Structure 1
Amino acid sequence: MSAFKTFFKNIIKAGDPDDDTVTVKGKKKQKYHGTVSPYPNFKASEDASVLQSAIESKGVDEDVIISVLVRRTNEQRQKIKTVYEVANGKRLDLALESIMRRDLEDVTLALLMPPAQFDAHQLRKATKGWGTTEDVLTEILATRTNEEIREIKKVFKQEYGEDLGDIIEADTKGDFNLALQALLRAERDEGDEVNMDMVHKDAKTLFEACDSTEGLDVAAFIEILTTRNGKQLSKTFQKYASMSDLTLPKVLDRELKGDIEDCLIDIVKCAWNKPAYFAEKLHKAMERHGTCDKTLIRILVSRSEEDLKKIVEQYRTMYGVRLQEAILEETKGHYEQVLIGLCGPH
């Protein structure tokens, strides 16, 4: 069974994700699906003092450090960092970096970065050195909002003195580069309205793009997949299925190979069910010999205040085991405690 078939078999079993809105006094508001919420009665000065004591204690008190960082939102952690530096004359991230090692150090430092800085850092690592980590580029650019992408580009320029688009241009090629550049433009419709006239038009465009005698018109796919909202794309995929003997995933699998195939398929997965897309990535990170800790850290940290609660739910339905249990099987020690803490209450 192809990876795409397996994904859709699992999300059909999992069902559609819950509605993201709730009606309060006649008005719709976004539900909160994060696992980390603002800590009540928060005082940055108290937390900074607690962390300083834990850092300076004999043997270092990792339990205290973890309990503070995991239970505070990113905004609260930024305030703690500021107070800590004023009080101690040293940056909190550097103090923790000097006492922690390996995966625990990586996840702790990740928690202390503002979201845009963390994403920029991940993109930098994905494009620096020998070889490019293509799936990381697609994951971040295909799942962030337009505003988040614009902020990532701004921070990347400030941090590394280079334009993110130029870096990706130099490190990728062909249709894959075109798709990433389209995502970088941050022009996706972020509403939830479905235009049925556009559904028919786009489905026809994709059908003709697949039926071309010159091969698949990838540019047409890139244009539609990177600019339409998720609900619009879902309806378009359904309409396409009624026009063709082959489903859209089968066409992409048959006509494309390599990075551009993976990129467009990931965009389609996100359109269908973004939490399921992340659940699948977490499962793959732990199913093979040797856990991909970078993936675990990247997803759990970046989604902890976005939709990690939904990802946890999707994971259990798709794979028949709780995400926390899977993590317990693959990790250990204080590093394990951080990951489990980010997943929310048992």
Structure 2
Amino acid sequence: MEFFNKFIKKISDDKPKDDGKGKAPSKGSTPPYYGTITPDPNFSASRDAAALQRAIEAKGVDESAITEILARRTNAQRQQIKAAYENDTGKDLVKTLKSVLKSHYEDTVVALLMNPAQYDAYELRQAMKGLGTNEKVLNEILGTRSNHEIRLLKTAFKEAYGAELEHNIKGDTSGHYETALLALSKTSRSEDQDIDDGLAKSDAKALYEAGEKKIGTVYSVFIDILTSRSEAQLCKIFKQYDKLGTQGFPKALEHEMKGDVEDCLMTLVKAAWNKPAYFAERLHLAMKGAWANCNTLTRILVSRSEVDLKKILQEYKRMYGKTLQEDINVETKGDYVKILLALCGDH
């Protein structure tokens, strides 16, 4: 709860001013780039493929060389390297690397060689594979991706595993939680940046009457509104709710919900208000305790490295008073720490 309360206070009292929610970009303007990985201006797929071959065949394997190549290239460039490697050697690069690498370093290298949709699909599959379900992974991915990204990962999921994502969700979840995930999987969520003040007021009233104002909770109202409105519209709803409830909406949601559905809907709340801060919190919690959750570290750093990792690094420092890199250095080791720091943009 300490981290939850700290997070809610931060996003409520100190929302970044440059997130542009509710405003369309200026016509013809190029949106700012917040990724830590940029295209190598002197890129040569065949040269990188040859360098990887030398690194793989070196005595003991040259992990530093592998990191320097794969963590300093964009995903599009990595896909070209994969093709060049197979063309030049007749071997599959991923299978070759998996045969010589190990542990969390291997997982990160393999993740870097998938395209974003394939990696999201893979992580969702792993979250639902075998006994038990990793609900936080489902919430993180489905609660933070755009409609387009979810459509792409659904296609990748079907191609890789021969089943519809929704089928797996139905088999591994139930009740209100299943309903929320399936709603997000429909890719029908509004992404309109124009805010409807009247709708925000009526939605805030509906949420208040479905929860705080009555005994019991009408889950369907919370699920319908939170999974269908745009992030910009949700922020307006939260502000309107402040005029009705005795507590802010995040606190009301915490009190009205429980279990997996609460975490799913809270993900939508946090991501709408400040997505980089949501990921910063996830990274911080991944390094809290006796053992670091390396799967979470890898997934977030790889998947956000060409999206908003610079902002995540800024939020982490703002929320916790130290850099993400400092904590990574303490909680991880060896070649794994080096590749994570490279993804953070460290040289």
For 1:217 and 1:29, locate their aligned partners in 2 and report how far apart those are by CA, in whole Å.
Answer: 43
Q: Is the CA contact (8 Å cut-off) linking 1:4 and 1:249 kept in structure 2?
A: no
Q: Is the CA contact (8 Å cut-off) linking 1:14 and 1:317 kept in structure 2?
A: no
For 1:193 and 1:24, locate their aligned partners in 2 and report how far apart those are by CA, in whole Å.
Answer: 12
Superposed displacement of residue 15, structure 1: 3.8
Superposed displacement of residue 9, structure 1: 2.1
Q: Is the CA contact (8 Å cut-off) linking 2:48 and 2:69 kept in structure 1?
A: yes
Q: Does 1:252 align with 2:242?
A: no
**Who is 2:38 aligned against?**
37
For 2:103 and 2:286, locate their aligned partners in 1 and report how far apart those are by CA, in whole Å.
Answer: 18
For 1:282 and 1:49, locate their aligned partners in 2 and report how far apart those are by CA, in whole Å.
Answer: 34
For 1:92 and 1:235, locate their aligned partners in 2 and report how far apart those are by CA, in whole Å.
Answer: 48
1:45-56 equivalences under 5 Å are 45-56=46-57
Letter of the 1:33 counterpart: Y
Q: Is the CA contact (8 Å cut-off) linking 2:74 and 2:306 kept in structure 1?
A: yes
SS, match of residue 192 in structure 1: coil
**Who is 2:173 aligned against?**
172
Residues 81 and 195 of structure 1, relative CA distance in 2, 3 Å threshold: same
Letter of the 2:252 counterpart: V
Q: Does 1:153 align with 2:154?
A: yes
Letter of the 1:97 counterpart: K
**Who is 1:282 aligned against?**
283
Deviations 1:111-157 (A, max 9, x none): 00011000000000000111000010010001111011011111101
Q: Is the CA contact (8 Å cut-off) linking 1:20 and 1:31 kept in structure 2?
A: no
Q: Is the CA contact (8 Å cut-off) linking 1:13 and 1:317 kept in structure 2?
A: no
1:297-336 equivalences under 5 Å are 297-336=298-337
Letter of the 2:11 counterpart: I
For 1:332 and 1:292, locate their aligned partners in 2 and report how far apart those are by CA, in whole Å.
Answer: 13
Structure 1 stretch displaced more, 87-96 or 19-28: 19-28
**Who is 2:209 aligned against?**
208
Residues 143 and 261 of structure 1, relative CA distance in 2, 3 Å threshold: same
**Who is 2:263 aligned against?**
262
For 2:249 and 2:11, locate their aligned partners in 1 and report how far apart those are by CA, in whole Å.
Answer: 16
Q: Is the CA contact (8 Å cut-off) linking 2:36 and 2:310 kept in structure 1?
A: yes
Superposed displacement of residue 16, structure 1: 1.3
For 1:29 and 1:204, locate their aligned partners in 2 and report how far apart those are by CA, in whole Å.
Answer: 38
Superposed displacement of residue 219, structure 1: 1.0
Deviations 1:7-28 (A, max 9, x none): 1123357541633599999633
For 1:183 and 1:254, locate their aligned partners in 2 and report how far apart those are by CA, in whole Å.
Answer: 23
For 1:208 and 1:156, locate their aligned partners in 2 and report how far apart those are by CA, in whole Å.
Answer: 39
Q: Is the CA contact (8 Å cut-off) linking 1:36 and 1:72 kept in structure 2?
A: yes
Q: Does 1:217 align with 2:218?
A: yes
**Who is 1:87 aligned against?**
88
Structure 1 stretch displaced more, 22-31 or 177-186: 22-31
Residues 70 and 89 of structure 1, relative CA distance in 2, 3 Å threshold: same
Q: TM-score, normalised by structure 1?
A: 0.95
Residues 26 and 122 of structure 1, relative CA distance in 2, 3 Å threshold: closer
Q: Which runs of 5+ in 1 are unaligned?
A: none
**Who is 2:8 aligned against?**
8
Letter of the 1:169 counterpart: K
For 1:54 and 1:129, locate their aligned partners in 2 and report how far apart those are by CA, in whole Å.
Answer: 35
Letter of the 1:36 counterpart: I
For 1:281 and 1:320, locate their aligned partners in 2 and report how far apart those are by CA, in whole Å.
Answer: 16
Structure 1 stretch displaced more, 133-142 or 254-263: 254-263
**Number of aligned residue pairs:** 346
Letter of the 2:148 counterpart: E
SS, match of residue 77 in structure 1: helix
For 2:248 and 2:19, locate their aligned partners in 1 and report how far apart those are by CA, in whole Å.
Answer: 26
Residues 285 and 14 of structure 1, relative CA distance in 2, 3 Å threshold: farther
Q: Is the CA contact (8 Å cut-off) linking 2:287 and 2:293 kept in structure 1?
A: yes
Q: Is the CA contact (8 Å cut-off) linking 2:190 and 2:228 kept in structure 1?
A: yes
SS, match of residue 287 in structure 2: helix
Structure 1 stretch displaced more, 112-121 or 214-223: 214-223
For 2:291 and 2:253, locate their aligned partners in 1 and report how far apart those are by CA, in whole Å.
Answer: 30
SS, match of residue 29 in structure 2: strand
Letter of the 1:127 counterpart: M
Superposed displacement of residue 30, structure 1: 1.5
Percentage of pairs with the same residue: 49
Superposed displacement of residue 311, structure 1: 0.2
